[in-house]
Amino acid sequence: MSHLQNRIADLLLPMLGKSMTAAAIHTNCRKIGVSPDALHRGNLGALSMELAKGLSIFLGADRAAVVARTIATLE
């Protein structure tokens, strides 16, 4: 697992649970055309936008956007 993948997983884990977090990262990385292991900061904007779509089902668009911004600015 890459460092960024771990950071995203740490953020999503309390909300989505273990298996859904792993699957969500994997599915959405594939959508933006990058392997989860090869994630770098340049991909985070696009990935966070994709993840926000899923999170908005449970949190609403506004709160999901805040989580997405956190993901997009991960170091």
Partner 1 sequence: MKLLYLHRASSVLLAVIALVYVSGAGGEEALKWIGGLASMTFALIATLLLWYAALQFGKQDAARWTWQLLALGTLAFAVAEGIYFVEENLLQFSEEELFPSIADAFWSVAYLFYLAGVLVMAVAYNRSGLPRPSFIRNSLPCLLLLGGLSIAMYQMVLRDILDDAELDVLSRALYWLYPVMDLLILMPVIWLALITRMLGEGAFSRPWRALVPGFFIMCMADLYYAWLDHQDAYQTGNYVDLMWDASYWLIGLSALFQIKLLKTVQGEQS
* Interacting residues toward partner 1 by CB under 8 A: 13-21, 23-24, 26-28, 31, 50-51, 53-54, 56-63, 66-67
Q: Say how far apart CA 16 and CA 59 lie, in whole Å.
A: 12
CB of 39 to partner 1, least distance (A): 16
d(CA 70, CA 66): 6
Check if the beta carbon of residue 55 is closer than 8 Å to that of residue 20: no
CB of 34 to partner 1, least distance (A): 15
Nearer to partner 1, 2 or 27 (CB): 27
Cβ closer to partner 1: 14 or 42? Answer: 14
The residues, any chain, with a CB within 8 Å of residue 52's CB and separated by 6 or more, are 61, 64, 65, 67, 68
Q: Which is nearer to partner 1, 57 or 75 (CB)?
A: 57
